[in-house]
Amino acid sequence: MPALTEKKRPASRSAGRPAAELIFGDLWTFDPAPETADPKLKSRYDLFIGGKFVAPSSGKYFESINPANETKLAEIAHANAADVDAAYAAAQKAFSTWGKMPGKERAKYIYRLARLLQDRAREFAVAETMDGGKPIKESRDFDVPMAAAHFFYHAGWADKFDYVAPGRKVAPLGVVGQVIPWNFPLLMMAWKLAPALAMGNCVVIKPAETTSITALKFGEIIADAGLPPGVINIVSGFGDTGAAVMTHPTAAKVAFTGSTEVGKIIMRSLAGTDKKMTMELGGKAANIVFDDAPLDQAVEGIVNGIFFNQGHVCCAGSRLLVHEPVAAAVLAKLKARVRTLRVGDPLDKNTDIGAINSREQLDKITELVASGVKDGADLFQPAGKLPGKGYYYRPTIFSNVTMSHRIAREEIFGPVLSVMTFRTLDEAVEKANNTAYGLSAGVWTDKGSRILKMSTELKAGVVWANTYNKFDPTSPFGGYKESGFGREGGRQGLLDYAKLI
């Protein structure tokens, strides 16, 4: 049996005395703790149009793969242009009723969606984890509860529109087309649907092809809630389906969350039209640690900022900027913390980092990490055995990174952190803003005045102070520059689904 050893580490400014690191080796291991709830998956999922499930007109289906073990979960309907036309026709017909319905009546339906999702929370959490690869404790404790919270919050707004734009009246836009990504399928659906419904719009929404199951399962909740047929229509498919949703002439507004490259294609295709747009695109956020920060707390925030959901987060703190006086201490603490992270079966409640969403995404991460090594950055990955089957990647830290490295400039969308240093506040701001993106940032310091200054200097839509990845339905979220435009959540997100009259 391996002996229990104690390893002395250098003193850090936050500790004030030499710290001891207990190294247990493989003295104790975690017994498997799998989630056993039944996700109630069907072998085949059809489109949800006009209040009912219908087969795709082409008769075509594609497979949804569990990234944890590469097994087939279900067959998903592939909607073509004719199916999208039918979805928009159903939404347009429903708008004549839904758009004129008193807000307090719409609120009852939206509230029902939230309660029904809560009732089936465990089932949806397991389905989300199996379809997307994220750890069950994240699906269970964040994704599903936050999705329900967005419906609850916007149900509360539905009869209070006299206060959403003081001095002005608001009205629904009509039918809205929406496309959501694969990293937070159910939550992104709630972000999109809840404000649109509360304002009185009807929706045609397309989930990502690799994570369509929870969106189509949500169709069951829509039916159970008794929403008028056509208020919400769900069409699954690939890029051709998304393009049909985004460019359809019936849509008064389109909302897209995904890569900057695809967002640019959508914007070019809609140039010259009068459609409203909301674009929530890529990010390359800076997480900035000053020498007076609570370092142990900061390390937890750094880990959460980049390794949450395998780094599949548009606002992930993928660039760590550390004040030079504490850079060595932060890096040592960070490496020690990362060694404790468990990579493995996403359905195991002990797992910290689950499966990468797809083979394609795993290949992208692998290629960018190889570029970091080639460019001369120092690679750190903890030891440990990965599962033999499935798409997995170790948590990765690069130090000695420069702004010219690809890993410091390109969005990796994986569990990969690039560490750089700075000497002055102005240098930190310059490095943080030296990116095409502007979605989010984090600041760790004990000085309130420094936090306020950084919040005004950083070109980011969201700036977290002494925390990271904190979300709330009442708070608007969105970015600048190539991270997109428009806001989701809060009063600002509601106004993006309204016209002022």
> Which tokens go with 312?
């599949």
β-pair type (44-45, 71-77)? parallel
Q: Known catalytic residue: 105?
A: no
Q: Which of 128, 314, 315, 482 is catalytic?
A: 314
Q: Which of 123, 209, 280, 488 is catalytic?
A: 280
Selection from 338, 346, 335 nearest residue 392 by Cα: 346
Within a 10 A sphere around the Cβ of 73, how many other Cβ atoms?
18
Q: Known catalytic residue: 280?
A: yes
Q: How far apart are CA 128 and CA 306, in angstroms?
A: 20
Do residues 105 and 265 make contact, with C-beta atoms less than 8 angstroms apart?
Answer: no
Q: How far apart are CA 233 and CA 91, in angstroms?
A: 7
Q: Please give the full DSSP string across 426-459, using - where no structure is assigned.
A: HHHHHHHH-SSEESEEEEE-S-HHHHHHHHHHS-
Q: First and final CA of the chain: distance in angstroms?
A: 75
CA atoms within 13 A on the CB side of 110: 33
Do residues 307 and 408 make contact, with C-beta atoms less than 8 angstroms apart?
Answer: no
DSSP 141: I
What contacts 288, CB < 8 A, 6 or more positions away? Answer: 321, 422, 428, 432, 441, 442, 443, 444, 454
| Residues acting as catalytic residues | 280, 314
